[in-house]
Structure 1
Amino acid sequence: MTSWKIRDFHSQDVEGILQLWQSLRATKVEPVYDLSEVLASCEKDHAVVAVQGEQVIGAAVGRAAHDQGWIVFLSTLPEFRGRGIGTSLLAAVENRMAAHGLNKLSALMPETETRVEAFTNRGFVVKKNLRYFERRIPVQRAELGALDELGGRLLPRDLWDRVAGMTAEKELLERRLVLPLAEPDLADEFGVVPPRAVVLFGPPGTGKTTFAKAMASRLEWPFVEVFPSRLAGEPGGLAGALRQTFLDIAELEHAVVFIDEVEEIASQRSGEPPSPMQGVTNELLKIIPAFRDQPGRLLVCATNFIRSLDSAFLRHGRFDYVIPIGLPDDDARTAMWRRFIPETVVEEVDVAGLVAASSGFSPADIEFAARSASQRALEKAVYDDVSHAPAAGPRGPVTADYLETIADTRATVSDAVAADFLEDIDALART
């Protein structure tokens, strides 16, 4: 007669499950499923425990999905192993799951686990040449409601790779911002404090918003854009709405928070009596230190007019870096043109000629000119070629189409603005 028995899991058995978990790890066996997953399945799925008196000495936890079942956890206290308890636990949990009409019951085991007799005794077969792949979902289901309320979203994972050219800027952002945020344990090992806030400045259309989104994509963090113009209509006024928005953001585990044209709410404070906007600037200056106390988030502020920002706003301790994002160089413009020209004709187009002709263009200017060239070529093909005879080669824009649209496109950034930007780099950049 055995001195132990098997019964269904009860909520008071959580302490026993924790003890089993810790005893398993003490033998240098890292369970496949996290403790939180095991406890969740104990409550929601199928779990049985082996007890001796009031002590939990073993447990088996299973989860069913359609006709497939999984053993999430199986463990026995070391002093009770070799008595057939594991085999009995597997039989019991399989019996609880039988109502699902399972066709298959599977289990994942760490490579370091050598005690597999319970599985072989129950008829489990080791599958050869299999690999286990796992991916962590960055945003938990509980956060999705709060994210939706904030108007935030998860961005496609490939945005970082889709940023054409701008290699120097990408490398700087990768090294200074993304690396310590993506690898916080490694950063801590080297004494690096992950950044909490950054200002991106530069002429209009140079890609500041694109880089903010790309960093969120690269980190796989939610992207939340704060629009002061929308908050201004809230009953408590802009300052109060701004404060509440950041309190709501604090509910997220991770976030890249973006404020574009931040000079609208952080311009130089002056004048008597103080203007209403000075109260908003004061509130923002209070919000940033509180934001910095919360790990797992990054504030990105962008401005076209960094000279107009309040001097206290850029002070050390509020922003870790003040990074210039300027006009693309020849290599960057080459990458951008090659991205926007259709693949079927890109080798037939004089890309080098387009790069030379578009000197001083911002990324937005290049994209506009490329889209316009494609539209122009389409209209020519449909309305000018009355015969609609099939072309001998691939159809699409030609070099002349691009050069015409470049000539018709007015550069966003004037020479004077470009010169001011270079001065701002010398005076204000902090990289």
Structure 2
Amino acid sequence: MTGWHIRDFHSADMDAILRLWEESRSAGAEPVYALAEVVASCQKDHAVVAVHGDLIVGAAVARAAHDQGWIVFFGIDNQWRKRGIGSALLAAVESRMTPHGLAKLSILMPDTEQRLDALLNAGFQDKKHLRYFEREIPVQGQEMGLLGELGGRLMPRNLWNGVGGMQREKELLERRLVLPLSNPDLAQQYGVVPPRAVMLFGPPGTGKTTFAKAIASRLEWPFVEVFPSRLAADSKGLAGALRETFLEIAGLEHAVVFIDEVEEIAAQRQGEPPSPLQGVTNELLKIIPAFRDQPGRLLVCATNFIRALDSAFLRHGRFDYVIPIGLPDEAARYAIWQRYTPEGVSADVDLDLLVAKTDGFSPADIEFAARKASQHALEKAVYGQQDGGSTANAAGPSNDDYLEAIAQTRTTVSAEVAQQFRDDIERIARL
């Protein structure tokens, strides 16, 4: 078999590129670059093929980045190896890239690839002691505009780890939500259907919104919060605006969609004549099944008053899990106090004592007490002498400042509300 030649890539050659790319996979050497990247470079950058008659027997595809050239695909039909085709392909793609003023041409190969003669013959050097790292960008360029229109954003990557304590809740969310959503192929292997919607419920100020954002951070999916109060001003009405918003969200490849205080638009339907919000509740009940048909999305709703929700809203088939988010445990309270204690006085503050004194406090309650103590200490430092006190060695709030602030803080969650929450866990939670 002789008579092959090298020419530029034509659009009609795409099927052959796909065939060669698949052959490289079946040979056990997974290509470094994804097929979509190879196809894009064929169309926009530099690609050459080796042809015998009408048959394409090899290809090299490359792109330039500043003064660095990268070969993103290099493949030869197994039956045409050892014929000099590889060296010719590499020389041809280099000649087409040279006018760009490149200083270097590089290629990344799978560590299982043993057939490197063409590279070595073409003058490429095998660089030892190098490792290749990559990460995928969660939101592609074409989605950024839509995400901005929706008011969505990407959460910081470390937000999940930043949720101190609450280990039981974090482990539950990790196992029920993050695991199947981030590993859909593994979930399918075990017959697990990734969740599409989850309800978080609990007393006010317990961190439900923080957990919703942390889930998005853990998945590295865009976070889109839907505000019914803002949609209500739309000329199409709240129900119409809600429907249109979810249609726009469908344009994102992945998304965590969050509705806080969902009881405002999904309360029990009752009364004659029907209230205006009943139409919104009906619309939301229609939206959720359609939303569930789309992979790569998770609806997270949160409520302080789960008993107020319409009974049809929580039934099986709409929400996969109904998860309680309660008051912070000791570890969580310790982490919150650490966050709000100035570094200059942290060694002198008895955090264990503050943790013990704030049993039954919500995260918002602790934040309020910490800020109140800091404000009081600042005022003493600045105005102490005027009030007959001393400002000597004032470095920040003290234990006494914190304890005084704790004593003056009215907790958000009363004993009655806490008991109702425990009852709701028994009656309504679905884990």
Distance in 2 (alpha carbons) for counterparts of 1:101 and 1:376: 65
Q: What is the identity, as a one-letter code, of the residue corresponding to 2:402?
A: Y
Distance in 1 (alpha carbons) for counterparts of 2:373 and 2:53: 81
Q: CA deviation at 1:338?
A: 2.2
Match of 1:217 in 2: 217
Q: What is the identity, as a one-letter code, of the residue corresponding to 2:264?
A: E
Distance in 2 (alpha carbons) for counterparts of 1:395 and 1:242: 51
Distance in 2 (alpha carbons) for counterparts of 1:376 and 1:241: 46
Q: What is the identity, as a one-letter code, of the residue corresponding to 1:211?
A: F
Q: Against the structure 1 CA distance between its residues 64 and 390, is the aligned structure 2 distance closer, same or farther, given a 3 Å change threshold? A: farther
Match of 1:279 in 2: 279
Deviations 1:53-100 (A, max 9, x none): 222111111111111111111111111111111101111111111112
Q: CA deviation at 1:242?
A: 0.8
Match of 1:168 in 2: 168
TM-score, normalisation: structure 2: 0.95
Q: CA deviation at 1:52?
A: 1.5
* Matched length: 429
Deviations 1:283-310 (A, max 9, x none): 1111111111111111111011111100
Match of 2:337 in 1: 337
Q: CA deviation at 1:389?
A: 8.8
Task: Give the 3-state SS of the residue equivalent to 1:127 in structure 2.
Answer: coil
Deviations 1:126-159 (A, max 9, x none): 0111101111112111111111111111110011
Q: CA deviation at 1:2?
A: 5.7
Match of 2:260 in 1: 260
Contact kept, 8 Å, 1:164 with 1:339, in 2: the verdict is no
Q: CA deviation at 1:342?
A: 2.6
Q: What is the identity, as a one-letter code, of the residue corresponding to 2:173?
A: L
Match of 2:129 in 1: 129
Q: What is the identity, as a one-letter code, of the residue corresponding to 1:379?
A: E
Mapping for residues 138-157 of structure 1, pairs under 5 Å: 138-157=138-157
Contact kept, 8 Å, 1:201 with 1:306, in 2: the verdict is yes
Match of 1:95 in 2: 95
Q: What is the identity, as a one-letter code, of the residue corresponding to 1:140?
A: Q
Task: Give the 3-state SS of the residue equivalent to 2:60 in structure 1.
Answer: strand
The question of 1:301 aligning with 2:290 is answered no
Distance in 2 (alpha carbons) for counterparts of 1:353 and 1:42: 65
Moved more, 206-215 or 118-127: 118-127
Match of 1:105 in 2: 105
Match of 2:400 in 1: 400
Contact kept, 8 Å, 1:62 with 1:69, in 2: the verdict is yes
Distance in 2 (alpha carbons) for counterparts of 1:188 and 1:340: 43
Distance in 2 (alpha carbons) for counterparts of 1:354 and 1:305: 29
Task: Give the 3-state SS of the residue equivalent to 1:115 in structure 2.
Answer: coil
Distance in 2 (alpha carbons) for counterparts of 1:129 and 1:250: 44
The question of 1:32 aligning with 2:43 is answered no
Q: What is the identity, as a one-letter code, of the residue corresponding to 2:257?
A: V
Contact kept, 8 Å, 1:198 with 1:321, in 2: the verdict is yes
Deviations 1:241-261 (A, max 9, x none): 111111111111111100001
Q: CA deviation at 1:388?
A: 11
Q: CA deviation at 1:115?
A: 1.2
Distance in 2 (alpha carbons) for counterparts of 1:95 and 1:359: 72
Task: Give the 3-state SS of the residue equivalent to 2:326 in structure 1.
Answer: coil
Match of 1:372 in 2: 372
Aligned alpha-carbon RMSD (Å): 1.9
Distance in 1 (alpha carbons) for counterparts of 2:355 and 2:219: 32
Contact kept, 8 Å, 1:262 with 1:302, in 2: the verdict is yes
Task: Give the 3-state SS of the residue equivalent to 1:413 in structure 2.
Answer: coil
Task: Give the 3-state SS of the residue equivalent to 2:40 in structure 1.
Answer: helix
TM-score, normalisation: structure 1: 0.95
Distance in 1 (alpha carbons) for counterparts of 2:100 and 2:378: 58
Contact kept, 8 Å, 2:164 with 2:331, in 1: the verdict is no
Match of 2:323 in 1: 323
Distance in 2 (alpha carbons) for counterparts of 1:77 and 1:329: 62
Deviations 1:391-412 (A, max 9, x none): 4xx9332111211221222211
Match of 2:115 in 1: 115
The question of 1:292 aligning with 2:296 is answered no
Q: What is the identity, as a one-letter code, of the residue corresponding to 1:298?
A: L
Moved more, 354-363 or 122-131: 354-363
Contact kept, 8 Å, 2:239 with 2:279, in 1: the verdict is yes
Moved more, 329-338 or 200-209: 329-338
Task: Give the 3-state SS of the residue equivalent to 2:343 in structure 1.
Answer: coil
Deviations 1:211-252 (A, max 9, x none): 000000000000000011111111211111111111111111
Contact kept, 8 Å, 2:259 with 2:301, in 1: the verdict is yes
**Unpaired runs of 5+ in structure 2?**
none
Distance in 1 (alpha carbons) for counterparts of 2:349 and 2:197: 42
Distance in 1 (alpha carbons) for counterparts of 2:284 and 2:422: 28
Mapping for residues 235-246 of structure 1, pairs under 5 Å: 235-246=235-246
Contact kept, 8 Å, 2:198 with 2:319, in 1: the verdict is yes
The question of 1:12 aligning with 2:9 is answered no
Contact kept, 8 Å, 1:48 with 1:89, in 2: the verdict is yes
Distance in 2 (alpha carbons) for counterparts of 1:170 and 1:248: 30
Contact kept, 8 Å, 2:381 with 2:391, in 1: the verdict is no
Distance in 2 (alpha carbons) for counterparts of 1:330 and 1:71: 54
Moved more, 17-26 or 311-320: 17-26
Task: Give the 3-state SS of the residue equivalent to 1:123 in structure 2.
Answer: coil
Contact kept, 8 Å, 1:382 with 1:388, in 2: the verdict is no
The question of 1:81 aligning with 2:95 is answered no
Q: Against the structure 1 CA distance between its residues 390 and 135, is the aligned structure 2 distance closer, same or farther, given a 3 Å change threshold? A: farther
